[in-house]
């Protein structure tokens, strides 16, 4: 998936990495980060394949699935469950594609920082475009999707909500 980089002052060890940089910012809403958990965060793709196209990323800078420890894996998968549930409620898709593109040959545009795609699908979708296509096929108001998913997350029992401009906190409790 194509990612449009933004000019933002970077800090940390991986200042070159957009997926490390985004969660260190102080504007989750502006950065399309809709939820945060202990080990992972949920980002709306700003070049969505479909409305509701979300990505779940570890804070840890790694391109290798193998390097995530058990706590991170559990958090990752429980967050995926929660995000799928919220998208089902908010957008009523007919199905989903969920998965990782790992490595350039696997279609990843950012190869050194894992990101799980959660893509809602509708029966009316154009079904034959590869998910790695660089062109967004849907004219999508990401801000509107952000609002709808945020509302769903706020209502979910396994979340806490703080400031309106901060991402919803996923507690899994
Ligand atoms: Zn990174």
Distance 164 CA to ligand 1 centre (A): 26
Q: What confidence score (pLDDT) does residue 139 get? A: 45
Catalytic residue among 115, 117, 156, 172: 115
Q: What confidence score (pLDDT) does residue 50 get? A: 83
Spatial CA neighbour of 19 closest among 87, 90, 109: 109
Give 15: exposed, middle or buried? Use CB within 10 Å, 0-12, 13-18, 19+: exposed
Kindly give the residue spans of alpha helices, DSSP state H, lying in the chain: 18-21, 70-91, 142-155
Distance 154 CA to ligand 1 centre (A): 27
All structural domains of the chain = 18-170 (3.30.428.10)
Q: Is 115 marked active-site? A: yes
Torsion of CA 5, 7, 10, 15, to 10 degrees: 30
Taking 50 as the pLDDT cut, the residues of the chain under it are 1-12, 128-130, 132-137, 139
Distance 84 CA to ligand 1 centre (A): 24
Q: What confidence score (pLDDT) does residue 13 get? A: 54
Distance 61 CA to ligand 1 centre (A): 4
Q: What confidence score (pLDDT) does residue 140 get? A: 52
């Amino acid at each position: 998936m194509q990612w449009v980089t933004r000019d933002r002052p970077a800090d940390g060890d991986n200042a070159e990495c957009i997926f490390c940089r985004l969660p260190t910012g102080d504007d989750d809403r502006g950065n399309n980060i809709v939820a945060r958990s202990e080990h992972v965060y949920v980002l709306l793709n700003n070049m969505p394949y479909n409305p509701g196209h979300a990505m779940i990323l570890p804070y840890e800078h790694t391109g290798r699935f193998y390097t995530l420890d058990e706590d991170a894996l559990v958090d990752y998968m429980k967050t995926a469950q929660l995000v799928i549930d919220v998208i089902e409620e908010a957008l009523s898709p007919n199905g989903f594609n969920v998965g990782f593109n790992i490595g350039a040959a696997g279609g990843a545009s950012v190869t050194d920082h894992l990101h799980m795609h959660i893509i809602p699908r509708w029966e009316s979708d154009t079904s034959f475009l590869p998910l790695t296509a660089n062109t967004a096929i849907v004219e999508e108001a990401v801000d509107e999707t952000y609002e709808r998913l945020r509302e769903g997350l706020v209502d979910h029992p396994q979340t806490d909500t703080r400031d309106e401009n901060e991402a919803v906190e996923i507690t899994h409790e």
